[in-house]
Amino acid sequence: MKILITGATGFIGSSLTSYLLSKGYTVNYLTTDRDKIKDAVRYHGFYWNPAKSSFDLKALDGVDVIVHLAGASISKRWTPRNKQQMIDSRINSTRFLYQTLKEQKHQVKQLIGASAIGIYEDSLDYIHQEDSLRVDADFLGDLVTQWEAENKKFEELGIWVCLLRIGMVLSKNDGALPELVKPIERYYGAVLGSGEQIHSWIHREDLIYLFEYAISHQLEGVYNAVSPHPITQRELVMDLKTILKKPVFFPRIPTVFLKLILGERHILVTGSQNVSSKKTLNAGFEFKFPEIKMALTNLLK
């Protein structure tokens, strides 16, 4: 089976690519950076640039499934310019992909998109299922809502659409975890904000398996990509402290201070989303790391 990945060179895409290759899939990928184009056995890179309407159509040859991960990082400062780039890189690239498929002959049957739990309203007690109507009214909620709507349009082309709403991805060297580990190892670790906010997280390995599961089981619709056991910020820091065998001297960094340092982006650490994985479990997916202690021990050993 041949999979085409956009954003394949990033944090999620690179490990997804390795896993799919190990399972015998052929991977074509689209990159906006010509230096990242490689050609190897069952692994072929192609250039695209949605901003310049450029697309190497050979990338579509024989492709059964598209995994759409492209988008500028949201961890940069949320300046008006960077926010616009976060929007354009997602909305315009999705529209461009849609238009290309509409105009070209292809055999794509399924599109799997990397959505985000940032679509859900910040709440300490509400448990979000996929049909939750409590949508975040700020920048992230708006971005994800717009992005999902663009992706759902592929259904008009007869393509099944599966959207994975991804939570906080835990990985040893990238993403949120190293940022949490560093201060604890250097003895200035602290709980961020109230400590009561809920993090719905997923081990990167489980996320990669879930993408493959969505391909091999032809999943359609929206699925939360989070472990079955969300935790509070305080529990996360305390578990890290225990596993790393380090003290946490500072009780907590107040939200007001985080707002000052991070600006609007503080929501990425102080926001609270209790997200359910029930639908994902009911689809038959089994998490290798359902509990935070298992995940952290695996990643930090």
Ligand X SMILES: NC(=O)c1ccc[n+]([C@@H]2O[C@H](COP(=O)([O-])OP(=O)(O)OC[C@H]3O[C@@H](n4cnc5c(N)ncnc54)[C@H](OP(=O)(O)O)[C@@H]3O)[C@@H](O)[C@H]2O)c1
* Residue 93 or 270 having the CB closest to ligand X: 93
* Residue 36 or 278 having the CB closest to ligand X: 36
| Of 116, 247, 294, 123, residue with least CA distance to 196 | 123
Instruction: For the CB of residue 249, give the shortest distance to ligand X in the complex, in Å.
Output: 28
Instruction: For the CB of residue 32, give the shortest distance to ligand X in the complex, in Å.
Output: 3
Instruction: For the CB of residue 12, give the shortest distance to ligand X in the complex, in Å.
Output: 4
Instruction: For the CB of residue 148, give the shortest distance to ligand X in the complex, in Å.
Output: 12
Residue nearest to ligand X (CB): 10
> 282-290 contacts: CB < 8 A, separation 24 or more?
283/213, 283/217, 283/219, 283/223, 284/213, 284/217, 285/209, 285/210, 285/213, 287/203, 287/206, 287/227, 287/228, 288/203, 288/205, 288/206, 288/209, 289/203, 289/205, 289/206, 289/227, 290/227, 290/228, 290/229
| Of 242, 238, 207, residue with least CA distance to 223 | 207
Instruction: Tell me how far apart the alpha carbons of residues 116 and 232 are, in angstroms, rounded to a whole number.
Output: 19
Give me 30's structure tokens.
Answer: 């689209």
Instruction: For the CB of residue 35, give the shortest distance to ligand X in the complex, in Å.
Output: 9
Binding footprint of ligand X on the chain (CB under 6 A) = 7, 9-13, 31-33, 36, 50, 69-73, 89, 93, 114, 116, 166, 169, 175
* Residue 226 or 248 having the CB closest to ligand X: 226
* Residue 92 or 255 having the CB closest to ligand X: 92
* Residue 116 or 159 having the CB closest to ligand X: 116
